[in-house]
């Protein structure tokens, strides 16, 4: 029996340990569920720690609802306990896109990037920045992609923020999927443009190049 805040979860299994939150897999109403528990951090004052964990739990649950409303596949939210900093969500059966791309031929993986590009464009069109856009935060469930982990997501319509999202996924592709990086990026951007339109895509792409230029020439003191 594992105690997560005020809930005791039988047979809960830790599947991810993060700096801010631990994620468990366990039973919920006859099925499987993911339990995301923001743990107390000892270096923070108690009052501040509780306020931060509560605010971030409420914020993430709100972002999940916004993503759902935008029509982007994401886990169903079953239960929210702000006081205990706990989210209970649907467990999406599938494989991380990172693992699928690493073990599949390009003919299988490249269409996934095009589909992902369209999903990102849909988020941006609805004023949402994912904030942690990597292939580890996308689950391949049969023929669909499901986005997960909205702890860093924000509402924004700034082109700069949209370009930062694309910058992160671009870094992930070139770093983790170098063998298909060039074609994967082409597919991703094609998918983005197909949904966002040429004018919007060009605006975001220009901002992406500007961000990369600033990073390239930034001085480290």
pLDDT at 217: 46
pLDDT at 1: 60
Catalytic site residue 49?
no
Cα–Cα nearest to 129, from 156, 168, 169, 151:
156
Per annotation, catalytic residue among 62, 81, 132, 183 = 132
pTM as predicted: 0.91
pLDDT at 216: 59
What is the chain's pLDDT, residue by residue, as a tens digit (221 residues)? 677 766 777 788 999 898 889 999 999 999 999 999 999 998 899 999 999 999 999 999 999 999 999 999 999 999 999 999 999 999 999 999 999 999 999 999 999 999 999 999 999 999 999 999 999 999 999 889 999 999 999 999 999 999 999 999 999 999 999 999 999 999 999 999 999 999 999 999 999 999 999 865 444 44
Please list, in sequence order, all residues whose beta carbon lies within 8 angstroms of the beta carbon of residue 6, skipping any fewer than 6 positions away.
81, 83, 84, 86
Please list, in sequence order, all residues whose beta carbon lies within 8 angstroms of the beta carbon of residue 164, skipping any fewer than 6 positions away.
129, 211
Which token pair is 36? 């995301």
pLDDT at 77: 96
* CATH number for the segment(s) 2-90: 3.30.200.20
Rounded CA separation 122/146 (Å): 13
pLDDT at 142: 84
120, 165 in Cβ contact below 8 A? yes
Rounded CA separation 141/118 (Å): 17
pLDDT tens digits, residue range 139-176?
999 889 999 999 999 999 999 999 999 999 999 999 99
Buried b (16+ CB within 10 A) or exposed e, 129-140: bbbbbbbbbbbb
Which token pair is 116? 């992902």
CATH of 95-217, one of 1.20.1090.10, 3.40.30.10, 3.30.230.30, 1.10.510.10: 1.10.510.10
Question: What phi-psi label fits residue 76: left (phi over 0), alpha (psi between -120 and 50 degrees) or beta?
Answer: beta
Domain parsing of the chain, residue ranges: 2-90, 95-217
Helix, strand, coil shares of the chain, percent, nearest 5, are: 50, 25, 25
Rounded CA separation 159/81 (Å): 34
């Amino acid at each position: 029996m594992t105690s997560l805040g005020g809930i005791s979860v039988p047979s809960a299994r830790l599947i991810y340990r993060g700096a801010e939150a631990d994620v468990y897999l366990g039973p919920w109403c006859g099925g499987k569920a993911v339990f995301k528990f923001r743990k107390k951090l000892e270096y923070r004052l108690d009052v501040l720690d509780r306020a931060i964990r509560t605010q971030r739990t409420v914020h993430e649950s709100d972002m999940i609802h916004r993503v759902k409303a935008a029509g982007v596949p994401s886990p169903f939210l079953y239960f929210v306990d702000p006081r205990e900093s706990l989210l209970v969500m649907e467990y999406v059966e599938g494989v991380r896109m990172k693992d699928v791309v690493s073990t599949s031929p390009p003919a299988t993986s490249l269409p996934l990037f095009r589909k992902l590009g369209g999903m990102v464009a849909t988020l941006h069109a609805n004023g949402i920045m994912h904030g942690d856009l990597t292939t580890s935060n996308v689950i391949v469930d049969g023929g669909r992609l499901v986005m997960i982990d909205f702890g860093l997501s924000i509402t924004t319509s700034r082109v700069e923020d949209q370009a930062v999202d694309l910058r992160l996924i671009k870094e992930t592709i070139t770093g983790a999927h170098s063998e298909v990086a060039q074609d994967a990026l082409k597919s991703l951007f094609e998918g983005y443009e197909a949904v966002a339109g040429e004018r919007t895509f060009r605006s975001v792409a220009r901002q992406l190049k500007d961000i990369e230029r600033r990073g390239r020439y930034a001085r480290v003191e």
